[in-house]
């Protein structure tokens, strides 16, 4: 394999070339109706709904506005959600069905908002293709397609013989094409959303870590890097960056780094071969990859769980390069210009949550798919505070943790190794017939 790093290679999200997180903002107010911790999509979406609902809102971030996952992600947008049998048993079939339906609504909610507010996000309904890495995964996709089409979602199986009409590779045994999915420029979406929130009248304060949330009378007092703010209500939307501020929330989230790389600009005919239909891509491995062409149609952006320990971006990039050239061998020799990582958050029941504890509202746990979902959770949590009579299916009393878990996932390297072994075994079993 050729040396993959270009001379101008940077450890920095490619997206920030067009829209970087923002260092400037407002001074923190002394008192507001609602204080929001975290300036990702969830915090911003909650702020927008609340301020339009007549509340005064102050939003704080420990770093620049948008420094978290919301300006680092792949920009793949889907309304898909996996509900495990255990969750269906715990909550009941009706709630599980409501969650699936809401998952679907997250996509239309995002699309409607982008269109109605005229947000500059580069969004398009690209459709999605999920490549099956082995025959048992393809069989599972066949069942999935039946379930999706029964719910009115446009999906179909792509047999191996037809792969090259959808993706320029023979690396999969087939796959599933879902038309109800899209993609956007995540950092441009973040910038458009934060401008909207600012215009609506909320204060946005960067570099202002919230260090404590204290109960005071009927409300709260927040101690933060610029002093104090009192608030009637507090929302915490810190997701994969949740730290000491809330041990209760931290114990319910499993943070995990996700890594991405961007290639140098590539010839148009090569891009056309790699992605003939302009879809976004993922695979069925437990150690998942997701990938796409950049919004300007010139580069490959490839992401995945390159490491289950807190590895560096350069090591992660070399690993992703191997994954990428396995899917698209003709990219061997192409140089990388950017590599970066960010944190996502999983939950112990694998569903996103809106929750309350000691009067504070918490939103998060999008299982690594939060462009549409984090936006939705923030919006729904805000609507609930404003008195919406139909609560979200994700707004539940039960938010599980695990015994002795303190928010530091020591078990991830073991889980990661096990998942990699299982993925490799799947392929070997296929070859053995
Ligand atoms: C590399 C990568 C690729 C991804 N790809 C996709 C994808 O293609 N599609 C998809 O749907 N999802 C994807 N995701 C997931 C998606 O980006 C997240 O689910 C979503 O952005 C979460 O938004 P959020 O608002 O909950 O959190 P974030 O955007 O992470 O924001 C949390 C914020 O809280 C702040 N914070 C933490 N503690 C404090 C404190 N004490 N005081 C003040 N501020 C604090 C942090 O600084 C941070 O800015 C990806 C994520 C990563 C990292």
- Catalogue all structural domains in the chain, each as residue range(s) with its CATH number: 5-127+180-431 (3.50.50.60)
Please report the pLDDT score of residue 80 as a whole number: 75
Please report the pLDDT score of residue 311 as a whole number: 77
Lowest mean pLDDT among 114-128, 205-219, 390-404: 390-404
Q: 269 to each of 272, 298, 337, how far by Cα in Å?
A: 5, 10, 20
Contacts for 290 with CB less than 8 Å, ≥ 6 apart: 74, 76, 280, 281, 282, 302, 303, 304
Mark out the alpha helices in 312-360 (DSSP H runs).
313-327
Regarding the beta carbon of 69 and ligand 1, being less than 6 Å apart is answered yes
Burial 208-246 (b: 16+ CB within 10 A, else e): bbbeebeeeeebbbbebeeeebbbbbbbbbbbbbbeebb
Regarding the beta carbon of 353 and ligand 1, being less than 6 Å apart is answered no
Interval 91-109 mean pLDDT: 91
pTM over 0.85: yes
β-partners of residue 321 are none
Rounded Cα distance, 330 and 328, in Å: 5
Best residue among 11, 12, 16, 40 to mutate for probing ligand 1's pocket (most ligand atoms within 8 Å of CB) is 40
Q: Decide which of 96 and 210 is more confident.
A: 210
- For residue 363, pLDDT beyond 90: yes
Cβ-based neighbour number of residue 407 at 10 Å: 18
Burial 25-50 (b: 16+ CB within 10 A, else e): beebeeebbbbbbbbbbbbbbbbbbb
Regarding the beta carbon of 238 and ligand 1, being less than 6 Å apart is answered yes
Residue 97, class by beta-carbon neighbours within 10 Å (0-12 exposed, 13-18 middle, 19+ buried)?
A: middle
Distance in Å, CA 70 to ligand 1 centroid:
5
End-to-end CA distance of the chain: 30
Per-residue pLDDT reduced to its tens digit, 44-99: 999 999 999 999 999 999 999 999 999 999 999 987 777 777 778 888 888 888 99
Angle between helices 186-200 and 41-52 (to 10 degrees): 30
Cβ(243)–Cβ(250) below 8 Å: yes
For 159, half-sphere exposure in the C-beta direction (CA atoms, 13 angstrom radius) is: 1
Q: Which atom of ligand 1 has the smallest separation from the CA of 370? A: 19
- Tell me the average pLDDT of the chain: 94
Interval 302-326 mean pLDDT: 89
Cβ(159)–Cβ(173) below 8 Å: no
Please report the pLDDT score of residue 87 as a whole number: 78
Regarding the beta carbon of 243 and ligand 1, being less than 6 Å apart is answered yes
- For residue 137, pLDDT beyond 70: yes
Backbone phi, then psi, for 202, in 5-degree steps?
A: -80, 155
Backbone phi, then psi, for 291, in 5-degree steps?
A: -160, 160
Per-residue pLDDT reduced to its tens digit, 265-283: 999 999 999 999 999 999 9
Lowest mean pLDDT among 242-256, 294-308, 409-423: 409-423
- For residue 306, pLDDT beyond 90: no
Regarding the beta carbon of 374 and ligand 1, being less than 6 Å apart is answered yes
Query: Atom 31 of ligand 1 has which residue's CA nearest to it?
Result: 40
Per-residue pLDDT reduced to its tens digit, 11-56: 999 999 999 999 999 999 999 999 999 999 999 999 999 999 999 9
- For residue 175, pLDDT beyond 90: yes
Regarding the beta carbon of 239 and ligand 1, being less than 6 Å apart is answered yes
Regarding the beta carbon of 130 and ligand 1, being less than 6 Å apart is answered no
Best residue among 69, 208, 379 to mutate for probing ligand 1's pocket (most ligand atoms within 8 Å of CB) is 69
- For residue 250, pLDDT beyond 90: yes
Q: Which atom of ligand 1 has the smallest separation from the CA of 342? A: 53
Q: Please, which pLDDT band fits residue 1 given cuts at 50, 70 and 90?
A: low
Please report the pLDDT score of residue 67 as a whole number: 98
- For residue 2, pLDDT beyond 70: no
Distance in Å, CA 26 to ligand 1 centroid:
21
């Amino acid at each position: 394999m050729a040396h993959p790093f270009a001379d101008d290679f940077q450890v920095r999200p490619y997206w920030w070339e067009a829209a970087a997180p923002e260092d400037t903002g407002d001074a923190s107010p002394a008192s507001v109706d609602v204080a929001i911790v975290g300036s990702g999509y969830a915090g911003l979406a909650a702020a927008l709904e609340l301020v339009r609902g007549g509340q005064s809102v102050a939003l704080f971030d420990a770093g620049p506005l948008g420094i978290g996952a919301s300006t680092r992600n792949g920009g793949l947008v889907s309304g898909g959600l996996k509900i495990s049998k255990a969750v269906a048993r715990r909550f009941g079939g009706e709630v599980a069905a409501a969650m699936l339906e809401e998952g679907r609504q997250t996509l239309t909610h995002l699309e409607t908002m982008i269109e109605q507010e005229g947000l500059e996000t580069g969004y398009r309904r690209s459709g999605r293709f999920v490549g099956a890495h082995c025959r048992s995964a393809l069989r599972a996709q066949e069942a999935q397609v039946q379930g999706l089409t029964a719910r009115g979602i446009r999906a179909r199986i792509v047999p191996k013989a037809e792969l090259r009409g959808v993706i320029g590779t023979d690396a999969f045994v087939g796959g599933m094409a879902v038309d109800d999915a899209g993609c956007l420029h995540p950092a441009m979406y973040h910038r458009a959303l934060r401008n909207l929130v600012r215009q609506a009248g909320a204060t946005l304060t960067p570099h202002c870590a919230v260090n404590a949330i204290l109960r005071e009378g009927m409300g709260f007092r927040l101690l933060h890097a610029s002093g104090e703010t009192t608030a009637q209500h507090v929302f915490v939307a810190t997701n994969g960056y949740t730290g000491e501020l809330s041990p209760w929330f931290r114990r319910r989230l499993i943070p995990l780094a996700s890594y991405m790389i961007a290639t140098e600009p590539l010839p148009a005919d090569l891009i056309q071969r790699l992605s003939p239909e302009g879809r976004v891509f993922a695979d069925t491995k437990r150690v998942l990859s997701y990938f796409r062409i950049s919004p300007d149609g010139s580069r490959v952006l490839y992401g995945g769980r390159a490491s289950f320990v807190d590895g560096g971006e350069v090591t992660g990039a070399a690993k992703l390069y191997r994954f990428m050239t396995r899917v698209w061998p003709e990219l061997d020799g192409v140089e990388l210009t950017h590599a970066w990582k960010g944190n996502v958050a999983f939950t112990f029941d694998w569903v996103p949550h809106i929750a309350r504890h000691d009067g504070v509202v918490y939103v998060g746990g999008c299982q690594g798919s939060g462009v549409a979902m984090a936006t939705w959770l923030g919006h729904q949590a805000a609507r609930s505070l404003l008195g919406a009579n139909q609560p979200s299916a994700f707004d539940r009393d039960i938010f599980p943790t695990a015994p002795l878990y303190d928010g530091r996932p020591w078990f991830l390297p073991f889980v990661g190794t096990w998942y990699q072994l299982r993925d490799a075994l799947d392929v070997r079993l296929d070859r053995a017939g």
